[in-house]
Amino acid sequence: MAFNGMTLTTLGVDLQTKIQAGTTAAFTKIKLGDGTLPVGGTLEALTDLVSPKLIVNIESVTSLGDGTWRVRGTLTNTGLATGFFVREVGLFATDPDEGEILYSVANAGSECDYLPAGGGAVVVEQVVDIVVAISSSATVTATINEGAVLVSLELFNEHSNNKDNPHEVKAEQLGLSSNTWNGTTTYSVGDIRYPFTNPTGYMRLECVVAGTSGAVEPSWTGVGSLVTDGTVTWIVDDVRDGTPVGRAVPEILTAARAGYLKANGALVSRASYPRLWAWANATGLVATEAAWSGGQTGRFSVGDGATTFRLPDLRGEFLRGLDDGRGVDADRVMGAAQADQIQGHLHLVSRSTGSGALPAAQMTAAASYDTSSGIANEAIGVTTTIIADGTNGTPRVGAETRARNIAYLYCIKY
């Protein structure tokens, strides 16, 4: 439809004057027709369309700023018995003195489109927008027949994609769990909620900073991230991961998964990992920096004492069960490191009577003498080279005493 603007009718001009004086602009309907102006006729003089064919119900009236307003409806050929050329369009309003009047009108003349009858192969649905200039301070309303309004696909999509929850619907009204996120709601630290809009289907939220949520649901980013929502701060978890906060777990990857930190003794921000810092304090596993550096590297530390804390350092370490009063490994505290050692012992070197001398390579420069064998002046030495026993393979020697092991990366859930 090609309409080059709307023209105020004479009655429309009178109503416009009343609106400027404080009368409410109350629009009632939109009409479409196929009439042409008679010779000598003017749009201003019309009180109705020349040949009205279809009424379009008003769906909404929206302020566009600067005193302009958009009146919107949707035309459809559903139920239309006879098709027609859409040449004229009129906007109707209520005048307090005249009743319903034709407020403004337009006529496309020969530049018109054909609207086919309903029930055929062609189904027509089109938004009709009429922009009127009134006043930024004017009160504008519309008569909306809610039972007859056909919502256009455009308007439906615009409304359904509105993240501002315009109807202030609560989760409970939709049959959702009361644990679903709600806007403008007070939350406390530790509260668990689930996103109203869940991008992955597996997100769970835990409040780490108490406050009131915003009116608009925020975008929920990846697992382990902090999301600011009004005055609330949430941490995003994956419901499929039931690992408790603070637990150290071996990881087969070389990098920590989302929601975990490497147990590498690093200094980290208390603000960035508030839940882990709170957990460490609650469990009493926070040492001073001096104690941590002195051997309690399996604990957390206070960091700089204000904004940071230090993680346990489990790199290159075996874990040992806490003695916890058994007496096997007494005087240990949780998270204390322990150097390697071997149990104290002696080596006895002897030979049978009549055997040959020990190889020179196994003797110290100054040999000792022992008569316990019954042979006077028997030369018994201390070996300086570790050699195979002929049964268990070549001995493995190095800088530490250790068992067989496989290296994994220890990570801590935050």
- Residues 35, 144, single domain; the answer is yes
pLDDT per position as a tens digit, 207-250: 999 999 999 999 998 899 999 999 999 999 999 899 999 999 99
pLDDT at res. 274:
97
36 within 8 A of 107, measured Cβ to Cβ: yes
- Per-residue pLDDT averaged across 309-325, rounded? 93
Give the whole-number percent of the chain exceeding pLDDT 70: 80
Single out the residue in 97, 128, 160 at which a domain terminates.
160
Q: Per-residue pLDDT averaged across 333-348, rounded?
A: 83
- Determine contact, residues 341/375, Cβ cutoff 8 Å: no
Query: Of 313, 303, 301, 307, which is closest to residue 269 (Cα–Cα)?
Result: 307
**pLDDT given at position 364:** 45
Domain that holds residue 97: 7-160
The pLDDT of residue 307 is: 97
Residue 146 and residue 282 share a domain: no
Residue 178: is its pLDDT beyond 70?
no
Establish if 301 belongs to a structural domain. Answer: yes
- Do 35 and 121 share a domain, yes or no? yes
286, 299 Cβ separation under 8 angstroms: yes
pLDDT at 113 exceeding the cut of 60: yes
Least confident segment among 127-136, 189-198, 330-339? 127-136
Shared-domain flag, residues 33 and 88: yes
For every residue of 315-360, DSSP letters joined together read: TT-------TTSSSS-S--TT-----------------TTPPPPPG
* Same-domain status, 145 and 217: no
315 domain residue, yes or no = yes
Burial of 404 (0-12, 13-18, 19+ CB in 10 A): exposed
What rounded mean pLDDT belongs to the chain? Answer: 83
Structure tokens at 306: 């204000």
Say which range, 25-34, 113-122, 152-161, has the weakest mean pLDDT: 152-161
Answer whether residue 253 is part of any domain: yes
Structural domain total, the chain: 3
Q: Are 206 and 189 in contact (CB under 8 A)?
A: no
pLDDT of residue 230: 96
Residue 263 and residue 192 share a domain: no
pTM > 0.75: yes or no:
no
- Here the tokens at position 260 are 């975990």
Are 19 and 132 members of one domain? yes
Looking at the chain, the whole-number percentage of residues with pLDDT higher than 90 is: 48
Three-state secondary structure call for residue 378: strand
**Backbone dihedral angles phi then psi of residue 28, each to the nearest 5 degrees:** -115, -40
- Rounded to whole angstroms, the Cα distance separating 223 from 258 reads 6
Q: Is residue 364 part of a domain?
A: no
pLDDT(144) > 50: no
Is 333 found in the same domain as 190?
Answer: no
* Domain end (from 130, 160, 190): 160
Q: Is 112 contained in some domain?
A: yes
351 found inside a domain: no
- Point out which residues pair with 380 in neighbouring strands: 368
Asked if residue 133 and residue 15 are part of one domain, the reply reads yes
Q: At residue 374, does pLDDT exceed 60?
A: no
- The verdict on residue 156 lying in a domain is yes
pLDDT for res 191:
95
381-395 pLDDT, tens digit each: 555 577 788 888 888
Q: Are 409 and 250 in contact (CB under 8 A)?
A: yes
Q: What is the pLDDT of residue 184?
A: 92
| HEC assignment per residue over 141-201 | EECCCCCCCCCCHHHHHHHHCCCCCCCCCCHHHHCCCCCECCCCCEECCCCEEECCCCCCC
> What pLDDT sits at residue 252?
94
- Measuring CA to CA, how many Å separate 344 from each of 119, 323, 341, 347? 100, 21, 9, 11
Q: Are residues 35 and 125 in the same domain?
A: yes
Q: Return the pLDDT at 158.
A: 62
- 151 lies in the same domain as 42: yes
Last residue of a domain, one of 133, 160, 187: 160
The reply to whether 229 and 293 lie within a common domain is: no
* Inside any domain, residue 365: no
